[in-house]
Amino acid sequence: MITEDGNWIMEGKSSEDESRIKSSNELSEYIKKVGFLPLFKSEIAGFSVEELTDSKAWFGGDSETDPWTWREVIAKEGEIAYAKLFRNKAGFISEEWYPIFASYRRDGYDFDSRYEDGLASQREKKIMDVLLECPSLPSNEIKSIAGFHKGGEKGFDSTMTSLQMKTYITVREFRRKINKKGEEYGWPVAIFSTSESLYTEEYVTSCYSKSKEQLEELIVNQVLKLVPNVNRKDIIKFIR
């Protein structure tokens, strides 16, 4: 994705290209097959939703054809995790590959242990405490309850991104806000939960026994199967 005169220009396929992914169902099946996929173009050329879909179909609002809306469909289905997962940007990880990334990103720590060892911030703990008390909340409510407001905590967005990258929290679904009349309005807001709430603690932590080196090798080799000519150092930078 590039910007030109303030507008986003997607670097995808032509609408005439029959190899493009054409629906949320096709995208879901593709992610399950490959294991994980960033939403937007990254340093791993050819490996993103952006590059595999019709470049002209984005941001039109049609749930049948717009890849931007497919993330809402896929997140709600609950079989594929959607969050900021690659280089602090949005992406998908299949249920099969999620424990591998969770163990790799967390270094075998559950959140409480990470915090006790001084490896998690007080801001991260405030957000985790909210989601442990209320298992599913929109981002704006998490922000308010956790004390990220004028005169309170700063850095809400970066803290949420950090927790997503470490796989402690994930997007459960998207919902529009509701006004006092009970009417929906505005853009859909992300609803977050802990990853353990989505997949169970036993499943999310099922690869904790593997070493970081083993996990890194699994992920790197999977990328190389899909994009053989990528530099190994670029892959490691991309997945960390």
Model pLDDT for residues 77-134, shown as the tens digit of each residue? 999 999 999 999 999 999 999 999 999 999 999 999 999 999 999 999 999 999 999 9
Cα separation of 208 and 220, whole Å?
A: 18
Residue owning tokens 């994705």: 1
Cα separation of 169 and 163, whole Å?
A: 6
Output the pLDDT for position 5. Answer: 52
Q: How confident is the model at residue 8 (pLDDT cuts 50, 70, 90)?
A: confident
Burial class (CB in 10 A: 0-12, 13-18, 19+), 161: middle
CA pseudo-torsion sign 35, 39, 41, 46? positive
If you average pLDDT over every residue of the chain, what do you get?
A: 95
Q: At what angle do helices 24-34 and 67-77 cross, to 10 degrees?
A: 60
Cα separation of 108 and 222, whole Å?
A: 21
Output the pLDDT for position 2. Answer: 59
Q: Are 112 and 217 in contact (CB under 8 A)?
A: no
Rounded to 5 degrees, φ, ψ at 118 are 75, 20
pLDDT exceeds 60 at position 3: no
Cα distances (angstroms) measured from residue 158 to each of 23, 84, 98, 123, 165? 31, 11, 22, 10, 10
Of all residues in the chain, the percent with pLDDT exceeding 90 is 88
pLDDT exceeds 90 at position 9: no
Output the pLDDT for position 28. Answer: 98
Q: CB neighbours of 236 closer than 8 A, spacing ≥ 6?
A: 216, 220
Output the pLDDT for position 6. Answer: 60
pLDDT average, residue stretch 5-23: 88
Q: CB neighbours of 101 closer than 8 A, spacing ≥ 6?
A: 36, 85, 93, 167, 219, 239
pLDDT exceeds 90 at position 50: yes
Output the pLDDT for position 177. Answer: 86
Q: Are 81 and 35 in contact (CB under 8 A)?
A: no
Of all residues in the chain, the percent with pLDDT exceeding 70 is 97
pLDDT average, residue stretch 226-239: 95
| pTM > 0.75: yes or no | yes
Closest CA to 219 of 53, 34, 66: 34
Output the pLDDT for position 1. Answer: 57
Output the pLDDT for position 162. Answer: 98
Task: Copy the structure tokens of residue 109.
Answer: 């720590």
The pLDDT tens digits of the residues spanning 131-180 come to: 999 999 999 999 999 999 888 899 999 999 999 999 999 999 999 888 88
User: Which one-letter amino acid corresponds to residue 127?
Assistant: I
